[in-house]
Amino acid sequence: MNRRLFWKILIIFWVIFYLTFQLTWIAFSIYAENKNQRFLNHMPTKVDMIAQLLHVAGEDETLNFIAHLPEQERALLSIKLVSPINEQVNILTDELETPTYVYQRMAAAPDGTLYSVSFKEDKDDHTKKTLFNMPMPIVLMGIFVGLVFSLFLAWNLTRPMRLLRQGFFRVSQGDLSVRLFNKLKPRRDELSELGKDFDMMVEQLNILISDRQSLLHDVSHELRTPLARLQLAIGLAQQNKQNIDTALARIELESQRLDQLIGEILNYSRAEMNNRTDEYFDLKDLISVVINDANYEANHQLIDVHFISSPITHSIVKGNSEQIRRAIENIIRNAIRFSQAGQAVEVSLKETGKYLQIEVKDRGPGVEANKLSSIFEPFVRIQSPQLGKGYGLGLAIARKTVIMHNGTIQATNRDGGGLIVTISLPYWRKLQ
Select the more confidently predicted residue: 113 or 331: 331
Rg (CA), the chain: 48
Q: What is the pLDDT of residue 388?
A: 45
* Pairing mode of beta strands 88-90, 316-319: unpaired
Exposed e or buried b per residue across 99-126, where buried means at least 16 C-beta atoms within 10 angstroms of its C-beta: eeeeeebebebeeeeebbbbbbebeeee
What is the rounded distance in angstroms from the CA atom of residue 289 to the CA atom of residue 285? 6
Report the chain's mean pLDDT, rounded to a whole number.
Answer: 77
CATH of domain 279-426: 3.30.565.10
Q: Find out whether 77 and 99 touch, Cβ atoms under 8 Å.
A: no
Q: Do domains 42-126 and 176-273 have the same CATH topology?
A: no
CATH class of 176-273: mainly alpha
CATH architecture of 42-126: 2-Layer Sandwich (3.30)
pLDDT cut 90: percent of the chain above it: 11
Instruction: Tell me the three state secondary structure of residue 234.
Output: helix
- Provide the pLDDT confidence category of residue 69 given band limits of 50, 70 and 90: confident
Strand partners, 231: none
Q: What is the pLDDT of residue 265?
A: 73
377 to 60, 219, 271, 405: CA distances (angstroms): 111, 13, 13, 18
pLDDT tens digit sequence for 135-153: 677 667 767 777 777 777 7
Q: What is the pLDDT of residue 183?
A: 81
Select the more confidently predicted residue: 358 or 372: 358
What is the rounded distance in angstroms from the CA atom of residue 207 to the CA atom of residue 211? 6
Q: Where are the domains of the chain?
A: 42-126, 176-273, 279-426
pLDDT tens digit sequence for 74-85: 777 777 777 654
What is the rounded distance in angstroms from the CA atom of residue 121 to the CA atom of residue 40? 10
Q: What is the pLDDT of residue 409?
A: 92
Instruction: Tell me the three state secondary structure of residue 226.
Output: helix
Q: What is the mean pLDDT of residues 291-313?
A: 87
